[in-house]
Amino acid sequence: MQNPFENALKQLEKAANIMNLDKNIHAILKQPDRVLTVAVPVRMDDGEVKVFTGFRSQYNDSLGPYKGGIRYHENVSLDEVRALSFWMMVKCATVNIPMGGGKGGIIVDSKKLSEGELERMSREYIRKIWREIGSDKDVPAPDMYTTPKIMGWMRDEYEKLIGKSDPGVITGKAIADGGSEGREQATAQGGVYVTRELMKKMNWRAADTKVAIQGMGNVGGFMAKLLAKDGFKIVALSDSKGGVYNPDGLDLDTIFVHKEKTGSLTGIDGVQNVSNAELLELPVDILVPSAMENQITVDNAANIKAKVIVEMANGPTTPEADEILSQRGTVLVPDVLANAGGVTVSCFEWEQNVKNLKWSEDEVLTKLKPIMVAAFNEVWETKEKYNVPMRTAAFVKAIERVAGKIKI
Ligand code: NAD
């Protein structure tokens, strides 16, 4: 398997060469500012103590406090956490929010823990890293297998340790616990703002544009509903077991009700069932991967018919597939831009917490729009200036911003 941090460094190098980055700044950006590796001992329900390993990588805080999720997964590793913190730096800088890059994780299969064990582990992790976090220092958030409830325990433990309230220490909290309105649909809404801008560049009309969406969870589900509201023709949609396809457009209400009732997408009248692999290769205008990483690879990139790919999932396209798509002239809106609505509204949650404000859902989604629109257009201009794919352009733009703030 490819080492994710080596991949991140290759992307950095590519951007550095294009923009002629100062070699001292390049050297600084080749490693995180700080990485914590911590032991997380937990008294299990049977009385035994199990010691888990946790990490927190703080990549760069030139633009603002480090920001990034905490992942609970068996495959968490130091290199994964370092790479993810680098990509968070790039994502925050791409949309120009006042946040740096961070990421954390614990090596654990959290599904095997009882609720009590999960709470004790989450609190112990905070006891090990609390000196290095805070609303003015490093602001964690949820990631894979971490939830608003876990964020609530972490905030509570942190505030007990510092002896005062600091709700902005962590985002992704439940609304009642200081979370932000609008966070649920923020990622998809950001993706829609970006897609609308792209439509102008392509000179396309929503009503003539066929869209296939892989995944119908938080991101894919909202994306389908919001794009349909804009008049796009959603022709394919899938869950982990497979998808449905109708070249004339899907009736989304029927599909979501059926999925809710039966838990599956089989047995729906008037649609064709397709596998997730087939969905990616359908004759559509826009493909929106919204599920997993590594879906578009060297094996299927040449078969993709969509002229536009909007990466709502994180890392759905491998670097080799990127090359193939770029040679074929596919316009790919990279994850660091397309799905950055999520981290932007996390930043809004932090801002509301530190300023003691409360914005309505409408206010939140209205504030999101100019940020996504500006980011899209800046990345587009950078792509034109250097004649590079949008992913490279986003990295160049982001690193330009971070580098501009580094003082040595
Ligand atoms: P989710 O768990 O709500 O939904 C995931 C969807 O993917 C489900 O429909 C599931 O059935 C489907 N799926 C699972 N395995 C699949 C497979 N092998 N093939 C095809 N589909 C599969 O997750 P989400 O929050 O919607 O996140 C989706 C992606 O978007 C992830 O890559 C995530 O990192 C990224 N993302 C999410 C947010 C956010 O705010 N939720 C923000 C930025 C990026």
Together in a domain, 56 and 189:
no
Active-site residue, selected from the candidate residues 23, 30, 50, 103: 103
Closest residue to atom 5 of ligand 1, CA basis: 217
Dist. CA 203 → ligand 1 center (Å): 29
If one residue of 103, 171, 290 were mutated to test the ligand 1 pocket, choosing by the most ligand atoms within 8 A of its CB, it would be 290
Chain center to CA of 99: 15
291 CA: nearest ligand 1 atom? 7
Distance from Cα 312 to the centre of ligand 1, integer Å = 9
Same domain (yes/no): 160, 192: no
Q: Given the CA of residue 219, which atom of ligand 1 is nearest to it?
A: 26
Q: Number of C-alpha atoms within 13 angstroms, CB side, residue 260? A: 7
Which amino acids bring their CB within 6 angstroms of ligand 1? 187, 214-220, 238-240, 276, 290-292, 312-314, 339, 342
Q: 160, 177, 194 — which closes off a domain?
A: 177
Is there a single domain that holds both residue 246 and residue 311? Answer: yes
Is residue 332 in some structural domain? yes
Rounded to the nearest angstrom, the distance between the alpha carbon of 298 and the centre of ligand 1 is 22
Rounded mean pLDDT of the chain? 97
> How far does the centroid of ligand 1 lie from the alpha carbon of residue 368, in Å?
21
Nearest CA, atom 3, ligand 1? 217
> Does residue 20 lie in a domain region?
no
Look up tokens 């087939």; give the residue: 278
194 in the same domain as 106: no
pLDDT tens-digit map of 182-197: 999 999 999 999 999 9
Give the model confidence (pLDDT) of 345-373 as tens digits: 999 999 999 999 999 999 999 999 999 99
Asked about 397 being catalytic, the answer comes back as no
User: Of 134, 151, 177, which residue sits at a domain end?
Assistant: 177
CB distance 321 to 297 below 8 Å: yes
| Domain end marker among 177, 196, 224 | 177
For the segment 155-160, the average pLDDT, to the nearest whole number, is 98
In a domain, 26, yes or no: no
- 167/264 same-domain check: no
Q: Where in 61-117 does DSSP place strands (E)?
A: 66-73, 100-107
Sheet of 66-73: strand order equals 34-43, 49-60, 100-107, 66-73, 138-142
Instruction: Output the CA 293–ligand 1 centroid distance in Å.
Output: 9
The CATH number covering residue 43 comes to 3.40.50.10860
Residue 329 lies in a domain: yes
Looking at the structure, do residues 121 and 206 belong to the same domain, yes or no?
no
Quick one: how far is CA 403 from the chain centroid?
23
Confidence of residue 132 (pLDDT cuts 50, 70, 90): very high
Same domain, yes or no, for 100 and 185? no
> Is the same domain home to 258 and 123?
no
Residue 24 lies inside a defined structural domain of this protein = no
Nearest ligand 1 atom to the CA of 314 is: 32
**Does a structural domain hold residue 135?**
yes
Tally of domains in the chain: 2
Residue 8 lies in a domain: no
Please check whether residues 220 and 349 belong to one and the same domain. Answer: yes
Are residues 325 and 237 part of one domain?
yes
pLDDT value, residue 272 = 97
Structural domain for 44, as ranges: 32-177
Atom from ligand 1 closest to the CA of residue 315: 32
Q: Are residues 269 and 384 in the same domain?
A: yes
Which residue lies with its CA nearest to atom 2 of ligand 1? Answer: 217
What's the first-to-final CA gap in the chain, in angstroms? Answer: 36
Could you report the per-residue pLDDT of 253-285, keeping only the tens digit for each? Answer: 999 999 999 999 999 999 999 999 999 999 999
> Residue 404 corresponds to which tokens in the numbers above?
């501009």
pLDDT 10s digits, 47-68: 999 999 999 999 999 999 999 9
115 located within any domain: yes
- The yes-or-no verdict on residue 1 having pLDDT over 80 is no
Read off the pTM: 0.96
Same domain, 191 and 316: yes
**pLDDT tens digits for range 216-237:** 999 999 999 999 999 999 999 9
189: CATH: 3.40.50.720
Structure confidence by residue, pLDDT tens digits, 109-127: 999 999 999 999 999 999 9
